[in-house]
Amino acid sequence: MAVVRALVAPRLAAASTFAPLPGLRPLLPHKPAPSPRAALHGSAPRPGARVALVLSGCGVYDGTELHEASAALVHLSRGGAEVQIFAPDVPQLHVIDHTKGQPSESESRNVLTESARIARGKITDLAQLSAANHDAAIFPGGFGAAKNLSTFAVDGKDCKVNKDVERVLKEFHKAGKPIGLCCIAPVLAAKVLRGVEVTVGHEQEEGGKWPYAGTAEAIKALGAKHCVKGVTEAHVDQKNKVVTTPAFMCETELHHIHDGIGAMVAKVLELARK
């Protein structure tokens, strides 16, 4: 360990001076306030659909499911989309120690600040998101959708939805622009958009393969229609332009989750072009 410290310490000390190396930018250069374009997740503008990705924190048990957010970003990038990432500037419901799966009573965190970890710092307050500036919106899952974007984790069918999340869903829906949601996030659409069709996968646990199957009944209680789909599939509500996929509502291999989110993204981009 002493050898490791001896090797690493000089590099950390050098980095802390923020001195630029030949051909490299400084680690933390001073820069002017970013333009709207600078907030986009990508260094170069693209001609594709402009998609808003809405996060709920960072970490499956109290925020956004990172694999789902990453899969959405990869598929959006391959689809030529121009992505801007948003999150509400609100406190998390609580903080979960992910090594124990238990609340950390002494901690409090902010949803926007935590979501910035996934966005590599390029993030905007959800209050600034307008459907007029985007062609589609996508909501990854993770318990943050049920804890920070809504109170579904506590109140079930009697939940309330964050005011900006509700506004965004209604704006995109009214404008006829597609909305994608995965994992537990479809409950947001079920609560806000009456009569919408969504999927969270299967309606029976099937020996633990679908541990959150009971969510389907809550969706029905919210007045929405639940459609049974496999983990690699996406359901498209053509009338409401809402696309959903089960993602981690299913206990399965990661590549199946990735493929299902890819199907959702592809359908969202297809609807955005119409």
Q: Structural domain of residue 134, as residue ranges?
A: 50-272
Asked if residue 141 is part of any domain, the answer here is yes
Asked if residue 35 is part of any domain, the answer here is no
Residue by residue, pLDDT tens for the chain (274 residues) are 444 444 334 443 433 333 444 444 444 444 444 444 444 555 445 579 999 999 999 999 999 999 999 999 999 999 999 999 999 999 999 999 999 999 998 899 999 999 999 999 999 999 999 999 999 999 999 999 999 999 999 999 999 999 999 999 999 999 999 999 999 999 999 999 999 999 999 999 999 999 999 999 999 999 999 999 999 999 999 999 999 999 999 999 999 999 999 999 999 999 999 8
pTM confidence score: 0.84
Give the C-alpha separation, 159 to 144, whole Å: 14
Give the C-alpha separation, 4 to 114, whole Å: 30
Asked if residue 67 is part of any domain, the answer here is yes
Asked if residue 232 is part of any domain, the answer here is yes
Asked if residue 55 is part of any domain, the answer here is yes
Asked if residue 33 is part of any domain, the answer here is no
Question: Annotated catalytic, 183?
Answer: yes
Asked if residue 227 is part of any domain, the answer here is yes
Question: Which residues on adjacent β-strands are paired with residue 50?
Answer: 82
Asked if residue 49 lies in contact with residue 273, where contact means CB atoms within 8 angstroms, the answer is yes
Asked if residue 41 is part of any domain, the answer here is no
Residue-level pLDDT at 258: 98
CATH number where 155 lies: 3.40.50.880
Asked if residue 155 lies in contact with residue 218, where contact means CB atoms within 8 angstroms, the answer is no
Give me the catalytic one of 58, 183, 227, 250. Answer: 183
Question: What is the tally of structural domains in the chain?
Answer: 1
Structure tokens at 82: 């121009």
Give the C-alpha separation, 132 to 163, whole Å: 18
pLDDT tens column, 27-66: 444 444 444 444 455 544 557 999 999 999 999 999 999 9
